[in-house]
Amino acid sequence: MFRPDAVMQCPVKDVWPVVTTLHHARSCYAILCQGLSFLLYLVTISFSAVHLPPT
């Protein structure tokens, strides 16, 4: 189980790898979110192109 109070009692050298890992995971999550947003954008554009009459 993860307990916040346990983290407070740890020395910094034990906490630092966890912080680095969390930061890395957040970066990966941001990249993933950007990729998904871009895909959604492409799908929306192609959907509009197919279903809207050409101007």
Note whether residue 9 is domain-resident: no
Q: Which residue has the higher pLDDT, 11 or 34?
A: 34
Structural domain count of the chain: 1
Note whether residue 14 is domain-resident: no
Instruction: Give the pLDDT of residue 46.
Output: 87
Structural domain containing residue 40: 19-50
Alpha carbons 13 and 22: distance in angstroms, whole number: 15
pLDDT tens sequence across 23-50:
777 887 888 888 999 999 999 988 887 7
Note whether residue 1 is domain-resident: no
Q: How far is CA 30 from CA 18, 23, 24, 27, 35, in A?
A: 18, 11, 10, 5, 9
pTM comes to 0.44
pLDDT tens sequence across 16-26:
677 777 777 78
Residues 6+ apart with CB under 8 A from 18: 7
> Which residue type occupies 32?
L
